[in-house]
Structure formats: C-alpha cells, structure tokens
Amino acid sequence: MAEVTLRDVARAAGCSVATVSRVLAGTRPVGAETARAVRAAADRLGYRPNEVARALRSRSTGTVGLVLPQITNPFFPSLVRELEHALHAEGRAVLLADCDDDPATEATRIAALLDRRVDALLLIPVDERRSRDAVATAAARVPLVLLDRGCGPGVADSVAVDNAAGMALVLDHLAATGRRRPCFIGAAGTASAAVERHAAYVAGAAVLDPAAPRRTVLGDFSVEWGRAAVDRIWPARPDAVVCANDLIAAGALQRLRQLGADVPGEVAVTGFDDVPLAGLADPALTTVRQPVAELAAEAARLLAHRPAAPSIPGPRRPVRTVRLAPELVVRGASAPAGGAEDPRTTP
C-alpha cells in the first residue's frame, strides 16, 4: 500500500514492466488495448512514479539549484517567486540555498547541490571576485546562469537588468524636473550592480552639473549606510539624492526628514529596484523597477537552451549575456520642487 511500483502495475495489468513504462512515459507506441489496461491499473492503484529512481536511471533529476546571497534581501523574494513559478511550469523543482552573504558558504552550498545532481544552477553570486572560482568550476559541470549580478567576464551565461539604462532614466527625470545639483550614495565593492550604477551616475550626472560626478559617497547596500551617508553629503545642499538601491534611499530619506529637510520640495530622493518598501516610504520613493518576471523567464530560457556540459572540455562556447530594460517609477519623493507642500501626488 505504501509504495506502488511499476511492478505492481504490470502485474495488475497483466503485462511487463517495460510495457507499463512505455505507456506511462509515452516513449514508444503501444497497442491500444494494452495501453488502456495499463492506464486503468495505474489509476486504480494510484501509481506515482518514483522520481528518485527515474533520476538515477535517466541521469536527470528535474531539479534546479537556486543559490542566493541572502533571501532576506528584499529584492530577492519576488525574484525567487518568479523563478520558482517559471521552473515549476517546466516540471522542475527548486533546491534553495542561502549563502549568508559568505563566499565560503556559497562554495559549500554549490558543492552540496552538485552532489545532489541538480540539472542546472541559477546563481546570484555573493561577490564578483570571491565567488569566481566556485562559480567557474560549477559552470564546467552543469548549465549555470548568473542572475542580477555578474561574476567576471566569460565565466557563465548571465541575465541582469541594464543598470546603466536605469540610472540614465533617473538622471533624465531629475533633469526634466529641474534638479541641478544631484549627488550619489552608492556602494563600494566589486558587485556589478554597485559598479555599473556608480559608473552610469558619473557618466550621466555631468550633463546636469560638471561638479556632480564628484559628489559621490560609497558604502554598502543598506539602510544604515543610507542614513549615515546623508550626514556626509547634506552639508553640500544637493537638490537630489540619487541612491544605488532602495534600501539606501529609504535610509537616506529617513535621515533627511530627521534633519528637517523638505522632501521633495528641497531635495528629491531616488532609489533602485522598486522593492515593496519603496512604495511605502513617506513620501514614496521614485525608483527604477526591475523587470522581475522577465528576468526569471529569461533565466529559465537560458537554462533550457544551454546544452548539457560537454564531456570533453572542448572549445569553450561563448557565454551569453542578456540585459533587460528597466522602467522608471516616479513617485512623491521626486515631485517637482515647485510643487505643493503635499508630496503625495504629482498632478
């Protein structure tokens, strides 16, 4: 009762195990009569294939490892959700690994997933440099797609938002609404989001003000840093605080208001990612929305199309890099400076 196997179905249907397998998997045509009998028996017994045995024999577990730095980073849950759905739609299950933002843990988790014979890996690397080795060796064994962050050139396929385009959207918007003295609160380190957003700010801000590219402070992607950074840049009286992500922006906004600054009247605040928190801040943050569902779909697509790793190393095929266009979400925190005191809406 506990465990109905192919043998049981075969016995009940009066045929061989091979035939049952063929009917159920549809791998080879089988006589109509027999097929019906088999299906009936399987139904009646409540047969469910043992995925473990199937995996062993067919050398494919139908399982994808999802490795990320910290599930508590508010940008990830929605991404995880979309990925889970996209993969489940293809009948693949998701093995989750949280790395605690530590490259060593990351390497351990990746190894554990490979031991479990995942068919592929979806990976948001912890660190651009320090994740490199583990990622490269993993990519040599299974199809691997990097998500959201890069990991050095040529290591693996990757899909991410176009950070430069996003930052450009922000700067254009600020320019269009009359801001002229922007400053930037970014993140140090080699994470591609940090580097690219910073670079894009530096490149684009000069249009507004030749001195703007220099008004930049770098910390990490946290609320605390956002708060602290404001104390460093507020004395220069910028009329816009451009932040490398929403967490920083939330902290910055909070601190600005503590200091009595008028947002958005006196200074605009912008973020990046459009995490749920962004819409809840007061005033709501203007930010750049990542196309999360598309990122997930694209990642799944890359995985599906990446043929299994070659047994003979051979000439490494070129990696594919997908960049998706983000979308600007304008909210109260960047309403035109000339507007009413009430920051809720922008007519």
Partner DNA sequence: CTACCTCGGGAAAACGTTCTCCGGAAATTT
Partner DNA sequence: AAATTTCCGGAGAACGTTTTCCCGAGGTAG
- Please choose, out of 24-32, 143-151, 298-306, 319-327, the segment that lies near DNA by the rule CB under 7 A: 24-32
What number of chain residues touch DNA (CB under 7 A)?
31
Least Å from the CB of residue 145 to a copy of itself: 17
Q: Do the Cβ atoms of 70 and 100 come closer than 8 Å?
A: yes
Confirm or reject binding of residue 216 to DNA (CB under 7 A): no
3-state secondary structure of 287: strand
CB atoms within 10 A of CB 99: 24
Confirm or reject binding of residue 7 to DNA (CB under 7 A): yes
The CA–CA distances, whole Å, from 8 to 58, 179, 189, 296 equal 21, 75, 59, 40
- Residues 6-45: x where in contact with a copy of itself by CB under 8 A, - otherwise, as a string: ----------------------------------------
Confirm or reject binding of residue 61 to DNA (CB under 7 A): no
Task: Find which of DNA, a copy of itself, none residue 7 binds, CB within 5 to 8 Å per kind.
Answer: DNA
- Residues 224-263: x where in contact with a copy of itself by CB under 8 A, - otherwise, as a string: --------------------------x---x--xx-----
Q: Do the Cβ atoms of 102 and 126 come closer than 8 Å?
A: yes
Confirm or reject binding of residue 116 to DNA (CB under 7 A): no
Torsion angle of C-alpha atoms 300, 301, 304, 305, degrees rounded to 10: -150
Instruction: State the DSSP string of 171-215.
Output: HHHHHHTT---EEEEEE-SS-HHHHHHHHHHHHHHTTT-TTGGG-
Q: Do the Cβ atoms of 94 and 84 come closer than 8 Å?
A: yes
Choosing from 6, 87, 169, 256, the residue that interacts with DNA (CB under 7 A) is 6
Confirm or reject binding of residue 345 to DNA (CB under 7 A): no
Choosing from 40, 43, 44, 50, the residue that interacts with DNA (CB under 7 A) is 50
- What are the backbone dihedrals phi and psi of residue 73, each rounded to the nearest 5 degrees, phi first? -65, 120
Choosing from 11, 12, 22, 315, the residue that interacts with DNA (CB under 7 A) is 22
Task: Cite the beta strand spans of 111-262 per DSSP E.
Answer: 120-123, 144-147, 157-161, 182-187, 216-219, 240-243
Task: Find which of a copy of itself, DNA, none residue 15 binds, CB within 5 to 8 Å per kind.
Answer: DNA
Q: What's the start-to-end Cα distance of the chain, in Å?
A: 67
Task: Cite the beta strand spans of 17-151 per DSSP E.
Answer: 63-68, 93-98, 120-123, 144-147
Q: Which residues make up the interface to DNA (CB under 7 A)?
A: 3, 5-7, 14-19, 21-22, 24-25, 27-31, 33-35, 47, 49-50, 53-54, 56-59
Q: Which residues make up the interface to a copy of itself (CB under 8 A)?
A: 1-2, 48-53, 55-56, 61, 63, 66, 70-72, 74, 76-78, 80-81, 84-85, 88, 93-98, 100, 109, 111-117, 223, 250, 254, 257-258, 276-277, 280-282, 311, 344
